[in-house]
């Protein structure tokens, strides 16, 4: 049995933290708020909602000083969300909340980015005439909206040679700004916008000497993710000779629409929501967003609410799971109407060796490309924790700062001429090398520490060095085992809704080569003068656009599929075992991964194009799930633009038509006689072109009896729907308060050619 601390009490604490951010604050500080409005209550005297909103604000208080003057409205939301963002004092925000047309007010939060061979690793090749690239025409009629740090439009990865006309339903445009003109867009980059009002309301005006107020990317993250999802094929691509070959995105003919939402110090919810709103108006098919910022209940999360509105418009939202692994309960972007993507490795590594004087060799990973250290010369090693400048290393704070090589923490007399060993954490891996170099060190070893585990990430360090653990060639291909779950990839279970499996899938996210802006160093350090056309990066930020690209290909092959059908195809065809039948491993310890690490498994695009059966979900299905999860009418109204009555429906949250089944039983202090039982209902849609007979096969979780009724389903025509029930009988379990256990299994339907697999998880938990 597997054990983890109960998460059932976390959501109320999160709610209290968020809701208290301004309701208990009587200060006169002006803050940014996002206001959701029920537009149906607009009086007829106002010709449009903006005039109505403006009148509402001016009527709040006779003293207008409580309303930000720099810009009365930061954003007006009209598509996936109705309302506006504005600067107000907490006092005026409380007054505004009392008005009947105001559905909800959200404090503006800041989020952070979740920072090639991978298409071939996924089985995507033009050499397969019947494959997904061929069936979808490489996504040529699909538009991916990339919400990130912008794009470097001149990059070779974004040329439009050989592309047909822009899709006829496209309504977007290229907005000009600093060093960005409309003629930089083409038939590949068909839209470019930027959203900075929320950011500037928080941080002040953007400094044009540091970053550009336009869709142009000076960070690198957005260019990398956009080219990962949909970059054109570019030959002779590499990072200083590493990973040399052809760099190509997952959906190389898909069109890219850029929505710059992230700036030097983060990404504001108000700007993210504005980008969601505009992307839906413009006509994107897929939204790819690699940002996160912790989990709050769906009805308090503007990003989840924006994603719900996008789903209503038929847009699939693909989001990064987060980089807070390997700890359980860390996955973010967990709403059931989003596709949440964890990270895995591919079969390519960049090994580098540290040779000790006693002959021991420690293998790590590195992308260092500068002058090597002297051959046949051994240099002294020093643990950075013992090199604190002018301080006592026995003190906790001082010891941590030097151990992790924070800026200004190292004693030059102790480090000069030595190779410093720095612990992970505190700052970026590449920054540690810069700190060691500044202190006179000649090399660096970045050491994994608990609970990070054994994951190795290669970096373009500014001096000789490697990342490693305690257990130089250019690169190795065909490394096994691969994939394994990246140690940093955030893990489930889902704090908000344990019945919704998160992450949904995993995809390549370690050492990914993709496009990089001119003028930006590969490390993003101010004192690194190097430039490169391509860079290698790791994170769920990289796995998310892989999944976004696959979703675009599936939309290109099946234009009539809903977002839920696309996600279902990716989940039910994902794999959780290697070809030899052994389960996927976890990079943290190279032990067997769990359902909370991989979700449904690793994406398999070629199988996803012909899944046989899919689990569809409508807007009403999601609303019924919220009802079954005991969301109040007011809470549902915050998410959904209209009022929705749960009525007296006897709904169960595990009956949501998700491609995975998760049930939870209440455990007792001591086990008693008898079993626990629940019956789960699922409905599948046949998407094959021919009549088919699907037979059920069950792998029961340990201590659980599972029966599928009926065990055989017949389908005569495409689009036909059939429902089945799963009877789950579980043994009673004795647990300590605040703990939980789980066991894994699966339900699989097969017609002899295709396997439609759904994870099955049974949990026993006991509250405090």
**CA angle, 550 as apex, 228 and 168 as ends, to 5°?**
90
- The pair of three-digit structure tokens given for residue 26, joined into one six-digit string: 């009587």
Q: How far is CA 49 from the centre of its chain?
A: 34
Distance CA 221, CA 148 (A): 7
The kind and range of the H/E element at 305 are: helix 302-312
Distance CA 174, CA 215 (A): 9
Distance CA 500, CA 322 (A): 17
Distance CA 276, CA 280 (A): 6
Q: Among residues 231, 206, 131, which one has the least CA distance to residue 604?
A: 131
| Contact in structure between 633 and 644 (CB atoms under 8 Å) | yes
Largest CA distance in the chain: 85
DSSP E strand boundaries for 333-470? 339-344, 348-349, 351-355, 361-365, 381-383, 419-423, 443-447, 465-468
| Contact in structure between 463 and 368 (CB atoms under 8 Å) | yes
Distance CA 554, CA 567 (A): 10
Cis peptide before 72 (omega within 30 of 0): no
Residue 401, SS3 per DSSP: helix
What are 515's strand-pairing partners?
534
Q: Among residues 701, 654, 651, which one has the least CA distance to residue 682?
A: 654
Angle between helices 10-23 and 90-97 (to 10 degrees): 110
Distance CA 348, CA 589 (A): 19
Q: Among residues 309, 325, 316, which one has the least CA distance to residue 547?
A: 316
Distance CA 89, CA 67 (A): 7
- The pair of three-digit structure tokens given for residue 478, joined into one six-digit string: 């065909």
DSSP E strand boundaries for 200-241? 234-239
Q: How far is CA 20 from the centre of its chain?
A: 27
Distance CA 668, CA 305 (A): 37
| Contact in structure between 480 and 347 (CB atoms under 8 Å) | yes
CA atoms within 13 A on the CB side of 62: 0
- Class of residue 84 by CB neighbours under 10 A (exposed 0-12, middle 13-18, buried 19+): buried
**CA angle, 689 as apex, 688 and 692 as ends, to 5°?**
60
List, by residue number, the catalytic residues: 148, 221, 541
Distance CA 174, CA 467 (A): 41
Distance CA 14, CA 527 (A): 40
| Contact in structure between 733 and 670 (CB atoms under 8 Å) | no
**CA angle, 729 as apex, 728 and 735 as ends, to 5°?**
115
**CA angle, 704 as apex, 698 and 708 as ends, to 5°?**
35
The kind and range of the H/E element at 120 are: helix 118-121
Calculated CA dihedral for residues 695, 699, 703, 708, nearest 10 degrees: -20
* % helix, strand, coil for the chain, step of 5: 25, 30, 50
């Amino acid at each position: 049995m597997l054990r983890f601390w109960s998460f059932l009490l976390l959501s109320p604490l999160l709610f209290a933290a968020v809701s208290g951010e301004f309701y208990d604050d009587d200060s006169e500080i002006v803050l940014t708020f996002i206001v959701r409005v029920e537009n149906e209550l607009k009086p007829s005297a106002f010709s449009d909602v903006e005039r109505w909103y403006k009148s509402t604000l001016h009527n709040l208080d006779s003293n207008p000083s409580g309303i930000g003057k720099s810009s009365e409205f930061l954003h007006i939301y009209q598509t996936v969300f109705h309302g506006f963002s504005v600067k107000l004092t907490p006092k005026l925000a409380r007054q505004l909340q009392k008005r009947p047309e105001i559905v909800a007010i959200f404090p503006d939060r800041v989020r952070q980015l979740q920072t090639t061979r991978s298409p071939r690793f996924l089985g995507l090749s033009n050499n397969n005439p019947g494959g997904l690239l061929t069936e979808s025409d490489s996504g040529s009629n699909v538009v991916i909206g990339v919400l990130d740090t912008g794009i470097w439009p001149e990059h070779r990865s974004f040329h439009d040679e050989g592309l047909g006309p822009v899709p006829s339903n496209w309504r977007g445009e290229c907005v000009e700004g600093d060093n960005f003109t409309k003629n930089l867009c083409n038939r590949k980059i068909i839209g470019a916008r930027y959203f900075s009002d929320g950011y500037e309301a928080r941080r002040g005006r953007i400094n044009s000497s540091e970053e550009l107020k336009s869709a142009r990317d000076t960070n690198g993250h957005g260019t990398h993710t956009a080219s990962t999802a949909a970059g054109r094929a570019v030959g002779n691509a590499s990072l200083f000779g590493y990973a040399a070959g052809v760099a190509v995105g997952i959906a190389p003919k898909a069109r890219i629409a850029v929505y710059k939402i992230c700036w030097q110090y983060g990404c504001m919810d108000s700007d993210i929501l504005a980008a969601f709103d505009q992307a839906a108006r413009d006509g994107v098919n897929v939204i790819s967003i690699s940002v996160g910022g912790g989990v709050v209940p769906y009805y308090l999360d503007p990003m989840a609410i924006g994603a719900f509105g996008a789903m209503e418009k038929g847009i699939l939202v693909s989001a990064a799971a987060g980089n807070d692994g390997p700890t359980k309960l860390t996955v973010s972007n967990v709403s059931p109407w989003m596709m949440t993507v964890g990270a895995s490795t591919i079969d390519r590594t960049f090994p580098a060796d540290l040779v000790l004087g006693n002959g021991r060799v420690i293998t790590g990973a590195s992308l260092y490309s500068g002058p090597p250290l002297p051959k046949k010369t051994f240099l002294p090693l020093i643990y950075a924790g013992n090199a604190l400048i002018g301080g006592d290393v026995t003190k906790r704070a001082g010891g941590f700062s030097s151990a992790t090589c924070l800026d200004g923490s190292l004693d030059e007399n102790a480090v000069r001429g030595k190779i410093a060993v720095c612990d992970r954490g505190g700052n970026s891996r590449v920054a540690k090398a810069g700190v060691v170099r500044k202190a006179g060190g000649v090399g660096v070893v970045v050491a994994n520490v608990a609970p990070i585990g054994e994951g190795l990430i290669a970096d373009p360090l500014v001096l000789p060095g490697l990342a490693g653990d305690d257990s130089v060639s250019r690169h190795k291909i065909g490394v096994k085992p691969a994939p394994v779950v990246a140690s940093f990839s955030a893990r489930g279970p889902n704090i908000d809704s344990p019945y919704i499996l998160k992450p949904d899938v995993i995809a390549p996210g370690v050492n990914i080569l993709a496009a990089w802006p001119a003028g930006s160093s590969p490390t993003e350090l101010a004192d690194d003068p190097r430039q490169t056309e391509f860079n290698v990066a790791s994170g769920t930020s990289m796995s998310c656009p892989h999944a976004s690209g696959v979703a675009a290909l599936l939309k290109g092959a099946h234009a009539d599929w809903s977002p839920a059908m696309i996600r279902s195809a990716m989940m039910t065809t994902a794999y959780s075992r290697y070809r030899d039948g052994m389960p996927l491993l976890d990079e943290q310890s190279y032990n067997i991964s769990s359902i909370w690490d991989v979700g449904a498994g690793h994406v398999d695009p070629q199988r996803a194009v012909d899944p046989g059966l899919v689990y569809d979900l409508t807007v009403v299905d999601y609303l019924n799930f919220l009802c079954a999860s005991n969301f109040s009418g007011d809470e549902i109204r915050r998410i959904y633009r209209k009022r929705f009555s749960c009525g007296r429906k006897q709904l169960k949250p595990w009956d949501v038509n998700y491609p995975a089944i998760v049930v939870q039983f209440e455990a007792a202090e001591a086990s008693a006689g008898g079993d626990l039982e629940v019956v789960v209902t699922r409905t599948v849609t046949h998407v094959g072109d021919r009549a088919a007979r699907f037979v059920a096969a069950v792998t029961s979780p340990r201590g659980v009896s599972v029966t599928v009724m009926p065990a055989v389903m017949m389908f005569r025509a495409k689009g036909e729907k059939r429902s089945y029930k799963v009877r789950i009988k579980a043994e009673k379990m004795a647990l300590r308060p605040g703990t939980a256990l789980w066991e894994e299994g699966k339900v699989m339907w097969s017609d002899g050619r295709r396997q439609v697999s759904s994870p099955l998880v049974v949990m026993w938990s006991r509250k405090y």
